[in-house]
Each structure stands twice: as structure tokens, then as C-alpha cells.
Amino acid sequence: MKKNKLLVSTLAIIFSSMVLAPTSGIKVFADTADINVSVDSTSDKQAISPYIYGTNQDFSNAKVTARRIGGNRSTGYNWENNASNAGTDYKNESDNYWLTLYDVPKDQSDVPASTYTTFHDKSLAMGVPYTLATVQAGGYVAADKDGTTVTDPAPSSRWKKVAFNKNGPLSLTPDTTDDTVYMDEFVNSLVNKYGSASGKTGIKGYSLDNEPALWPTTHPLIHPNKTTCAEVLDKDTELSKTVKKVDPAAETFGPALYGFAAFSNFQSAPDWDSVKGSYQWFIDYYLDNMKKNSDAAGKRLLDVLDLHWYPEAKGGGQRITTSDTSNVDCNKARMQAPRSLWDSTYVEDSWIGQWNKWALPLVPKVKASIDKYNPGTKLSFSEYNYGGENHISGGIAQADALGAFGKTGVYFASYWECENNNNNYVQSAFNLYNNYDGNNSKYGDTNIKCDTSDINNSSTYASLTSNNGKRMDLIVMNKNYTDAINFNFNVNSSEKYTSGDVWGFDSNSSNITKRDSISSISGNKFTYKIPALTAVHIVLNADSKKGDLNGDGTVNGRDLMLLRQYLAGKTSDVDLSAADINNDGVVNGKDLMELVKLISQQ
């Protein structure tokens, strides 16, 4: 009876102060159907690769864990003098563009491989653990950086021939007067400077060139004829042997396929029909034959199957990869598109979804091919982009893709920027996982089962942290365009979660801000309202001290009275960590309200 009177008295004080408080800025949300989220810490447990949060172009304000130097220019890069060729991206020009792009000091412009060493030095300075460097297999690279259009196809004086093995002593000062550049000498120069991939500073992975199915399109002067299946298989086999001869610990990535037409039949390769046999798609052929060649060589020659993914999904008649965000239906489709990575119930509006349903969802399909033809091979998406990079729909799609990569066991992923320096929402999606509080706090390293009752309006992911059993991380997205939604969480865990901190970004701003905390958790169940078009990171804490101000092991009216006395300045004998119930760093009336809720729900 005394407990009830105390609660009534306290609530009256709180509510009277709320009535007197200004009401401006208080949001009134429309009601919509609740979404139920079921989390099971005992199911679907697998390590989340630390290398899925990578980029090709650097962010101005986001934490990343991997960096790749690659793309179309990498095919025509000459490591001996740092010349590169733009191919059809820009007039087939050979120039010093990469030196400028990667901020190579002028006095280093003629130092062999300085484009790559400057890039990797930056990775090390940033604390990025994984650099993926591209080695050349197309056949020829730029001979000069004159800044002029090349018109003569290789071989000519404007090109240098690529050879994988020098078959002689490897020099750190390569001969720039001959007509050949050597890949073993290239890798050796990097290993000499940074050590093996097994060491802390070594370059961890090497991509076996870039998008070979498109060489006749992107680099018609280097490789005018259509690339064949047998050609890319032979080149990747031999180039991988070269890399591993110099650095056995390095991982090789191949074949950097540009998109689904390359996945399927290697861009209608001239020899596909003759090599297809019983293979369903080119990925099967490549995996199986790289396995056979590995067995013959006595070593694994393909560590990571590398794909590029620029979704073909459409909405409102427009492909989602566009930067135009005026089409609402396209924006809505963009937020659904990551489902094609993993969700068997989703059929995207695209030519792939219409004519090649057998290949979706993509990650399980590719992994089935790996398991059948080359078990143990890892999976990478070294280029991908969902469009709308500076729009909330793009931010949510990016956050969703990162969650899907972790959930499905992708090993490496590096985002490709399409809108130069106009991707604030994409950066926030990365920070939602890697730096949500501005103090470099991160999402967990172990995925656990997390299901939503409404996959159209929401996406949900959950993780644990291996060295901290007292916390659980949830990434939750409200994809509804207009309505706030109540999310009802039910967590199956041996831990008893008592509070939660929340950070997120929304349609009003790409800035990640701290949101209302969670204190009303009973039996690992709680409800949290998330506004429309919002992505949040929830950190659940299993901390029995919250609310137990006097340290007697229980949370009750005595703690409430003690908090009132503290706020009135009548006592300082309070456990402040227990009193800061909403975890905002201060103890005030908000904590009093949360404590009332805790007690009333017992």
C-alpha cells in the first residue's frame, strides 16, 4: 500500500512538471501495425568478418576496416613508373592521374610502386587492417604518363607487356627501359617494404586484375578481343602461383566479375558453350577448375571468390543505383534491394528477378556453388553500390547491406563511391556499425539469429561481442516511408538485459545522434518506437545494478526515495552508475521517470 502511494505521489509530481514544460518539439507519431522482433542468442552464431566494412574511395568522416586499390585503371597500371591508363572511362588516356588521386608526393612520382605504397601507408596510418591490392593480368600496361590519348593498340611504344614471372633475380629498381613489367618483381617490392601478409604491416590480399569480362569494353587497346573462360582461368591460375611464390601467406581474390552477366556466362564468352558442360553458371566452372588447378599445384590458388554487385533492381521504372532521389517508388525499392542478397521470399523487379530467379538470393546461391566445387573458398564483394548515397534510402540500404554481409558470412566487402564526396548517409551507415557514439564503439563480432515479423517495413540484425558477454547489439531499420512503428523485442538469452542505449540517423539528418534510452525491460522483452525512415543501433546491457541505488540487490521504493533525495540535494550517498538509468552520462529527472517505470513493471 505504501509502495502504491509513493508511486502515485511521484507520478503526480512528474506529470505536473511535464504539463508545465514547453511542448514544442514533441513529435506525435501516427499509429501503424507493430513489428515483432525475435532474437535468439543461441542460434545462427557465426563470426562476423572484420573486413566487410571496407571502401575503394576514402570517406571524410567514417571508420572503415578494409581498403582496396583497384577499378578499371588498375588493369593498365604500370608499377615501374606509376603510369596508368583510363581506358574508355576517359579517352584511353595514359597519365599520372593515380598519383594525384592517391596523393603521392611529387618527389615519389617516379619511385616504383609509390602509388601502391602511398595507399598502403595510409591504410596503416588509419589503423585499417586489410589492404587489397590489384595485380595486372590484362596483358599490357601504360608505358608513359604523358597525359595524352593513346590511339595505337598494344603492342606499341605506348604500352609495356605484362609478364608474371621474370625468371631471374628480382630487383627493387626495375629496368624501365625494357618492354616488360614483371608481376613477381612487383609483389616482391611490396613484400620487401612491408613484410609478408602474415605480419602486422604486410599487404593481406591481391586481386587478380579487375572485371576481365569487360576488358574489350573498358580497355579495347589492351585487350580488343572478347575474353574467354579458358583465358581468365589460365591467367588467374598462373598469376596466383606468382603471388604465392613471393608471399605464401597472401590471399588471392578472383576473378572480380563485374555483374550478373559475367556470373552467368562470362559475358557470353566465345568458349562458354564449349566449356559449360553441366555447370549452371560460369561461377561453377571457375570454382571447379581453380580447385583442380590448386590440387595439381599442391596449394590453394583461390582464397576468395570476388564479385561486384551493382543491383539491377528497379522502382518506379528507374534503376535503384541512380543518384536521383526524386522518385519515391525508386527510393522504396532501394531499401528493399539488399534482400536479394539473402531473402528467398523476395523477388526484385529486374531482369535478373524475372529471368534468373534460380540465382537469387545471391549469397546462398554462390555459397552453394563454393561448397560443391571449391569448399573453403571465402566470398567477397569488392565493389558494390545501392545508389541514393546522400539520401536516407541510400543510408538505410547501405546499413542493411552491411548487416546482410555479416549475417551471411561474407568475408570482404568494399563499397564503391559513385557520387564523389556526396555520400553522407552512406558514411553514417558505416559509422552505425563502427563508430556510432563518436568513441569508436563497434557492433559485435558474432552474428546471432534476429527475425522480424515484417521484412517489408523493417530490417533487423543482432550480434554479441566475444569479449563482453554483458552486451548485445541490435541494428534496426524502419523502412516505412511515413509511419513510426512500435518494435516489440523478445530476446532469448541466458543474460538478463536491464537497459539499452540507442543511437541512430533518420530522414531529417545523416548525423548519428543519441536517442531515448531503454529502461523498461522485463523478462528480456521491451517495446521501442522508431520513427519512419530511421536506422538505429541499440546496445542492450545486462547490468543488474541499474536502479539499485543503495546496493541492496533489489530495485524498489527505497531506491526511488533515495534518488529524489539526491536530486533535491539532500544526500550524495548514491551509486551514480546505478542512478544513470538511461545511460546519458548525467543523473536527473529523466532517470527518476525511468526508475518509476522500472519499479511499476515489477
State how far the Cα of 105 lies from the Cα of 276, in Å rounded to an integer.
49
The identity of residue 571, as a single letter, is T
The CA-to-CA distance between both ends of the chain, in Å, stands at: 15
Burial class (CB in 10 A: 0-12, 13-18, 19+), 501: buried
Strands (E) in 303-445, as ranges, are 304-309, 314-315, 318-319, 378-384, 412-415
The answer to whether the CB of 164 falls within 8 A of the CB of 141 is no
Closest CA to 49 of 124, 129, 125, 135: 129
DSSP state of 228: P
Helix (H) or strand (E) holding 5: helix 2-20
Q: Is 389 in the active site?
A: no
Burial class (CB in 10 A: 0-12, 13-18, 19+), 229: buried
SS (H, E, C) 427-488: HHHHHHHHCCCCCCCCCCCEEEEEEECCCCCEEEEEEEECCEEEEEEEEEEECCCCCCEEEE
Q: In sequence order, what are the beta bridge partners of 130?
A: 66
C-alpha dist (Å) from residue 488 to 13, 360, 451, 453? 29, 30, 12, 10
State how far the Cα of 67 lies from the Cα of 412, in Å rounded to an integer.
10
Write the CB contacts of 473 (distance below 8 Å, at least 6 apart in sequence): 443, 444, 462, 463, 464, 465, 537, 538, 539, 540
Quote the cell numbers at residue 506: 533518420
- Catalytic pick among 80, 211, 312, 348: 211
- Helix, strand, coil shares of the chain, percent, nearest 5, are 35, 25, 45
Task: Give the pairing type, strands 66-69 and 51-55.
Answer: parallel
Spell 249-259 as b/e; 16+ CB within 10 A means b. Answer: ebbbbbbbbbb
Catalytically annotated residues: 211
